[in-house]
């Protein structure tokens, strides 16, 4: 059985992306904390991502929890094009003065941004796999020699 690596690259990248987001979801669930909306105290750091009463801060606020900043840094590095592609999502909210911790249907604006990044990331990795597949095929396909037609004298 001959394995055509580039043909499976797109599927492998998509599967890897699914595994990445499952691991991210488990880490989020383990590192998140219960959150209820309240009047903020002086210079209180608000969580950026709130899902159904569970929140995760993007920065460490002195609690000693090192995973959320590391988790978000790794996610931001791996999914960087998706984060950039999702930035126009914030234009609407910024123009209306809505902050990232404002909830809609128990999910914050930042939480919807993260969900949008997750969806865009599948397109990102599909395009990366397709591009490398195309490049591989262009490099590996050798041009066939042109058959010369024999010219018969009249």
pLDDT digits (tens, 9 = 90+) for 35-68: 777 676 776 667 777 777 777 766 544 444 445 5
| Structure tokens, 78 | 């791996």
Number of structural domains, the chain? 1
For residues 68 and 57, the answer to whether their CB atoms sit within 8 Å is yes
In a domain, 64, yes or no: yes
Residue closest to 48 by CA, chosen among 68, 25, 24 = 68
In a domain, 10, yes or no: no
Query: What is the C-alpha to C-alpha distance for residues 57 and 31, in angstroms, rounded to an integer?
Result: 9
Whether the model clears a pTM of 0.75, i.e. scores above it, the answer is no
In a domain, 9, yes or no: no
In a domain, 79, yes or no: yes
Query: What is the C-alpha to C-alpha distance for residues 13 and 124, in angstroms, rounded to an integer?
Result: 10
In a domain, 154, yes or no: no
- Domain span at residue 62 reads 20-140
The SS3 of residue 6 is: helix
């Amino acid at each position: 059985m001959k394995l055509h690596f580039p043909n499976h690259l797109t599927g492998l990248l998509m599967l890897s992306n699914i595994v990445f987001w499952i691991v991210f979801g488990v880490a989020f669930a383990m590192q998140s904390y219960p959150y209820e909306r309240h009047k903020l105290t002086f210079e209180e750091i608000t969580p950026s991502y709130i899902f159904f009463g569970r929140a995760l801060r993007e920065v460490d606020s002195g609690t000693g929890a090192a995973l959320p900043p590391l988790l978000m840094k790794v996610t931001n590095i791996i999914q960087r094009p998706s984060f950039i592609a999702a930035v126009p999502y914030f234009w609407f909210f910024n123009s209306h003065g809505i902050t990232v911790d404002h909830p809609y249907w128990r999910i914050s604006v930042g939480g919807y941004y993260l969900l949008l990044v997750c969806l865009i990331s599948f397109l990102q990795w599909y395009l990366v796999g397709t591009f490398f597949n195309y490049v591989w095929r262009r490099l590996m396909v050798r041009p066939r020699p042109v058959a010369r037609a024999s010219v018969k004298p009249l």
